[in-house]
Structure 1
Amino acid sequence: MAPYTRSEAKAWARAHMIKSTNAVPTPFKADFSLDLPTLSAHVDRWANEGLYGLMTGGNTAEAWNMTPDEWWQYSETVAKANQGRMMLTSVILDPSPFTVIEKAHRLAELGFHLIEVINPVIQLRSDTDLYGFYKYLSDHSPLGIVLYNTPTAGVVLNHGLLNRLADLEMVVGIKNGLLNPADTIALRKHTGDRMVVTEPMESFYLWDSIVHGGQCLFGTCEYVMFGKQRDTLVKCMELANAGKFDEALPLYRQLDPIRDLMNDIFVWNIVRKNQYSLAPIKYWFELLGMPMGPCRPPLEPYADEAMKKTVREGLLKHGVIDSVPAAAAA
């Protein structure tokens, strides 16, 4: 069950939505079935490597492409492998508030700490209806709710509505996934006293933390994906949190080439097309020694050879890896 009462939910989130929470891909077998043993091994590895929070169930995880039974098997596997070591947040992509609440209760039993709920993808468009959706969730959820504001859902929550939603008892935060830091800054000024407003662009974190009050990277994947450069990322974030801009900036610059690679193969597709190009990300994880297998249909199952070469050479050149695992060499 949740480690907080309803009245404590906002304060708990303020204290615990910190550091890095990573949204990671899901391993599948060659026949496109879930590879649960590999998933369990990955969760154990991420916890042992010091990842603070794990985000499951979102677009990067291909959770939209799982059956209900698979979704539960996946969630249970994560919780069992975690053994309470990482803060667990589950993204819920369902448009029905009744399904969201059903899942939230089960996730609470499994030991998840938060749910992140995408803005409704069908039917609801007016502010009145959208408010009603989240009001129902707040009234019935056993877990704190993080809003997931993203244009991939087809509707973006406006600041007036978000200001009202921030007053709801169980709305504790937002991942403002518009890839527009200016919007996040403005939103935090209006609502940051009532919910944790997070900006998922790691490239902006240095300024966000020091100048604008950002306190975490939530629902990104740099901690895992930066591999042997992870310590540089962690140190940069720690210095940013301490307000030491001059010391943090050289480390920030050191990570620029890795950011550029991630942007080229993944982020800009989200910006331009509102689509997740996951095959290159899965190959990136393979190069880190984390088997991921294919993406599920109708997505392209694997990155093409030119993309693999770009990713492989980039990770070697910029010190993310120092060798290529045999299984990912081609």
Structure 2
Amino acid sequence: MDYTRSEAKAWAGKTFHGFFEAPFTPIDANGEIDAKQLQENIDRYIELGVDGLVVGGFIAELWTMTYQDWLRYHQLVAQAVRGRVPLFTIILESSAKQAVEKLAYVQKLGYDGAEIMNPSVQLRSDDEIFDFMKYVADRSPLALVLYRTPMPGTLMSMDLIVRLAEIDTIVGVKQGSFSRSDTLVLRRRARPDFIVSEPMESFFLDDLRAGGQVLWAAFWYLAYGKLRPLMREYYTLGRAGRWEEARKPWEALQPARVFFEDLATDMARTGTYASHIAMMKPWMEAIGFPVGPVLPPVRSLPAERREWLVDQLKKLGVA
């Protein structure tokens, strides 16, 4: 760790910039983690310039795996990354004790911190969720990023986020409520050294202008394929304050952006990533990241739908 508890927010402020990507997990024909392909994919992510990796969440499919799979996956990722970029896990737990155990495990492997979601079982009030998060934070020195999302069944209130932001090692939040105004209001209300990340890429250029600094735990930078340099271009120009110049490469991404958002409507409607994973895995394959099949019980994309998707990506210049 490059920070103490009291230094966690300052460290995060310096470290969290650009594109912290949440990659998909390569699965082999036997339904197991493909260790060789995982290594190769991570090498390529780093070569392509990701600014950090946030692994092990919904799109990584670890919610369908056993605890032993979870341990092995995180070990394989740590061995593949080898400290070359900041590395975070994602904690999806209803048990605070289990969350602390997982954090201790990844800390030994060299992870820099974790994104953490509020419990999906019980603990629904602000005070209950606060106590859960404080229990975990008190027992781990790792930097924690909250995930504000409706997916666990309770969307954490802004009052709660502002309270949690006062804990030294809770350094930021992925503001995933699908409301742009929530991001702006929360950034205004929370302490200035608390990072509020807007995860929708369509807002990222404007968000840089409004005080944002990182596209946290997303997959846009990888998913845009051949159009990826446009993201880096508008981000670099935006950080330099050259907003009018940055708008041109941002606008050039609009056809691919609209296509993706049209496909992702079920994710916002249902509050789950399941069908989204089945669509995105063939997308990643089409742009050169072998990730294999979707783990059951999620259904894989039918062959004709996969062919249509790849054809559309080629027409858009993504693949």
CA shift for structure 1 position 294: 1.2
CA shift for structure 1 position 313: 1.8
Q: Deviations over 1:165-212 (max 9, x none)?
A: 0101110010011111110100000114141100000100111111x1
Q: Which amino acid aligns with 1:224?
A: L
| Aligned mate of 1:309, from 291, 297, 307 | 307
- DSSP 3-state at the match of 1:217: strand
CA shift for structure 1 position 134: 1.0
Q: Which amino acid aligns with 1:160?
A: D
In structure 2, what is the equivalent of residue 220 of structure 1? 218
In structure 2, what is the equivalent of residue 157 of structure 1? 156
CA shift for structure 1 position 152: 0.7
In structure 2, what is the equivalent of residue 206 of structure 1? 205
Q: Deviations over 1:10-29 (max 9, x none)?
A: 10011111110111111112
- DSSP 3-state at the match of 1:58: coil
- Percent identical pairs in the alignment equals 37
Q: What is the CA–CA distance in structure 1 between the aligned matches of 2:229 and 2:125, rounded to whole Å?
A: 45
Q: What is the CA–CA distance in structure 1 between the aligned matches of 2:126 and 2:19, rounded to whole Å?
A: 32
Q: What is the CA–CA distance in structure 2 between the aligned matches of 1:224 and 1:169, rounded to whole Å?
A: 32
After TM superposition, the score normalised by the length of structure 1 is 0.93
Q: Which amino acid aligns with 2:293?
A: P
- DSSP 3-state at the match of 2:234: helix
Q: What is the CA–CA distance in structure 1 between the aligned matches of 2:193 and 2:14, rounded to whole Å?
A: 13
- Gaps spanning 5+ residues in structure 1: where? 322-330
Does the aligned pair in 2 maintain the 1:167–1:194 contact within 8 Å?
Answer: no
| Aligned mate of 1:246, from 236, 244, 247 | 244
CA shift for structure 1 position 216: 0.9
Residue 258 (1) aligns with residue 277 (2): no
Greater shift in the superposed pair: 29-38 or 49-58: 29-38
Aligned positions of 1:160-199 closer than 5 A: 160-199=159-198
Aligned positions of 1:2-21 closer than 5 A: 2-21=1-20
CA shift for structure 1 position 78: 0.6
Residue 117 (1) aligns with residue 124 (2): no
Does the aligned pair in 2 maintain the 1:105–1:142 contact within 8 Å?
Answer: no
- DSSP 3-state at the match of 1:278: helix
After TM superposition, the score normalised by the length of structure 2 is 0.96
CA shift for structure 1 position 108: 1.2
In structure 2, what is the equivalent of residue 135 of structure 1? 134
| Aligned mate of 1:269, from 266, 272, 285 | 266
CA shift for structure 1 position 111: 1.3
Q: Let me know the Cα RMSD of the aligned residues.
A: 1.2
CA shift for structure 1 position 223: 1.1
Q: Deviations over 1:45-95 (max 9, x none)?
A: 111221111111110101111111101111011110111111111001011
Does the aligned pair in 2 maintain the 1:127–1:161 contact within 8 Å?
Answer: yes
Structure 1 runs of 4+ with >3 Å offset: none
CA shift for structure 1 position 143: 0.6
Q: Which amino acid aligns with 1:248?
A: A
CA shift for structure 1 position 228: 1.4
In structure 1, what is the equivalent of residue 89 of structure 2? 90
Does the aligned pair in 1 maintain the 2:162–2:191 contact within 8 Å?
Answer: no
Q: Which amino acid aligns with 1:181?
A: R
In structure 1, what is the equivalent of residue 38 of structure 2? 39
CA shift for structure 1 position 305: 3.1
Q: What is the CA–CA distance in structure 2 between the aligned matches of 1:192 and 1:128, rounded to whole Å?
A: 20
- DSSP 3-state at the match of 1:151: coil
| Count of residue correspondences | 317
